[in-house]
Amino acid sequence: MMSPTPSQDQLETWDRTHYWHAFTQMEEYEPLIIERAEGVWLYDIKGRRLLDGASSMWCNVHGHNHPVMNKAIEKQLHRVCHATSLGMSCDVTIELSKRLIDVTPGGLEHVFFSSDGSSANEVALKAAFQYWRQCDTPQPQKTKYLAFGQAYHGDTLGAASVGGIGKFHDIFQPLLFEVIRTASPDVRRLPPGVTGEAAAQYFLDEVETVLQANADELAAIVIEPLVQGAAGMAMQPLGFVRGLRQLATQYNVLLIVDEVATGFGRTGSMFACDSEQISPDFLTLGKGLTGGYLPMAATLTSNKIWRTFLGDAASGRALYHGHTYSGNPLSAAAAMACLDLFEAEQTLEQLPAKIEHLGDRLSTLAEHPHVINARQRGMVVALDLVADKQTGQAFGPEQRVGQRLAAEALNRGVWLRARPDMAYTLPPLAISHDEIDLLMDAMAAGIDAATS
């Protein structure tokens, strides 16, 4: 017997009482329930149409309900929906492995699939640790990681350990392993007069000081390239990640680049590594890998790393890590379709004009009397809100300016992820120029409403 269709009131009640939401204080949660989506638009159960200003948590790429994506998943549904990666393969997942090797930076030749970005980073952390025990010149003392202030790499225990945002993970400190940490390479904290190429060198000098003292015990450096998302869209100077690659090589430390959020066109190139012209030892991907359709993540690495895990069954060299849904065929089909669309719709080729238009609109917002640090990297824009622009005095937490801004934007048909004292948008890459205008108009109105 079919269950009756629940009413709106029932859905809202169940949403408050049964569905435990991520990063959400359920005592204060007000339901926003989406029932369908199309392109850059979300439609809720009350009939409202909302522009998806955060790409449904930074993962939607080509828009919702895209016919090419839908068709690829439906086709795979009629073939096979699940095949384990333990001792067998599936054709579409094998094809995706090769496709990812072809589109990612050179030298990355092996792909390990998982289900989410946190897990992709766990794989990289474990593999880097094990590498130093099995390489040609074993260095088992290399057990630690160099991570950055305000970093976010996920919420599993290893990923949380290298994370640097206290409110997310401090309570779990007894469960986390020790890391060596250096300050965030955030251009907002540069000393006066340090700009351009000197900015990258300023932060690289800080890193090198840490490496000089600790390289012998470091397995790897872990970095979100160009933009630290959860840190409030903290942006790094161009050239920093390229210099970090050079330092990692110089001091014999592996480099893990976490492109879970920055990959697949977000920063203007296919990967942030492309604009920095580097190839890491490990590249982790998620979010946009399937265009925001199905859970899937990947960890790519080089032949240098891979070969140290080879041996007979008795060698103990295998990577003992896995997930039930690793390489899931439905997710792989979605990822293949996502990559096809980058070519068919010339997604990257169309970005420069959109990036420029987004930047023009941001420059106008930067003149607002309560806005500082307006910043952009590709299709990611952000700004900070202050009570006094001259002194930088912050708004008090009780004023809830970020929440008020998001509420006003919602009233104007735009969904933005609320942040306490800043605003950002990271729309689907498929957004049009007119939709960018609507988005930025709503942000401007939100700033006015929140700061007046």
Which residues are known binding-site members for substrate? 152, 287, 322, 417
Question: Tokens at residue 452, please?
Answer: 């007046």
DSSP H or E stretch at residue 302: strand 297-302
Residue 398 has φ and ψ, to the nearest 5°, of -70, -15
CA distance 145 to 128: 10
Q: Please name the residues in contact with 31: beta carbons below 8 A apart, sequence gap of 6 or more.
A: 11, 12, 15, 16
Measuring CA to CA, which residue among 273, 269, 265, 275 is closest to residue 338? 265
- The separation between CA 449 and the C-alpha centre of its own chain, rounded to angstroms, equals 29
If one counts every other C-beta atom within 10 angstroms of the C-beta of residue 249, the result is: 12
Whole-number CA gyration radius for the chain: 22
CA distance 309 to 312: 10
Binding-site sequence positions: 117-118, 152, 258, 287, 322-324, 417
Binding-site sequence positions for pyridoxal 5'-phosphate: 117-118, 258, 323-324
- Name the amino acid, one letter, at 149: G
If one counts every other C-beta atom within 10 angstroms of the C-beta of residue 263, the result is: 29
Give the per-residue SS3 of 29-53: CCCCCEEEEEECEEEECCCCEEEEC
CA distance 443 to 412: 9
Cα torsion 265, 267, 271, 273 to 10°: value is 170
300, β-bridge pairs: 111, 283
Query: Is-contact 425 53, C-beta < 8 A?
Result: yes
- The separation between CA 188 and the C-alpha centre of its own chain, rounded to angstroms, equals 20
